[in-house]
């Protein structure tokens, strides 16, 4: 179904408003629909596949913007390890800029190593079992009659 640019713009406004308000009627009014028909329009819009897909896309974009990427995390740890990150410490005498301590730099290096998998022990075990395995269940149960006879 082909829609005009004006209608597409209304749809986008509806999606943005709905994500912010989580109220279909209010979102429809904010998008420019009549207050008299807003509830019906919202219901119809929320059932459209293209509107649902647009909402999902907007939500994913918002979530991704809030979460640091792996690259960002590694860059941060690298800056700490290289003394390129600073911290501000406030005292009675004023505010001072401090560099990361050796402990902080070591922790950043450790986290980088863990992130890259440098500290994992990989052991390869090859076992070739060619004979038939027989499982023998000869462990007596506690309170078994055979226990009483052996005492």
Domains identified in the chain and CATH numbers: 5-66 (1.10.10.1400), 70-116 (no CATH)
* 91 φ, ψ (degrees, to nearest 5): -130, 180
In a 13 Å sphere around the CA of 109, the CA atoms on its Cβ side amount to 10
> pTM of the full predicted structure?
0.44
pLDDT tens digits for range 57-107: 988 887 777 777 788 888 888 999 998 888 888 888 888 888 888 999 999
């Amino acid at each position: 179904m082909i829609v005009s640019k004006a209608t597409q713009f209304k749809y986008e406004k509806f999606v943005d408003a709905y994500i912010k308000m989580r109220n279909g009627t209010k979102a429809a009014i904010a998008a420019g629909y009549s207050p008299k028909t807003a509830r019906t329009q919202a219901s119809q819009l929320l059932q459209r596949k293209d509107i649902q897909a647009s909402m999902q896309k907007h939500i994913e974009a918002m979530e991704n913007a809030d979460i640091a990427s792996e690259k960002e995390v590694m860059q941060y740890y690298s800056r700490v390890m290289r003394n390129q990150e600073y911290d501000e410490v406030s005292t009675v005498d004023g505010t001072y800029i401090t560099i990361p301590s050796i402990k902080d730099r070591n922790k950043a290096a450790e986290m980088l190593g863990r992130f890259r998998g440098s500290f994992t022990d990989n052991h390869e075990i090859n076992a070739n079992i060619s004979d038939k395995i027989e499982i023998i269940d000869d462990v007596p149960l506690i309170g078994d009659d055979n226990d009483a006879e052996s005492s």
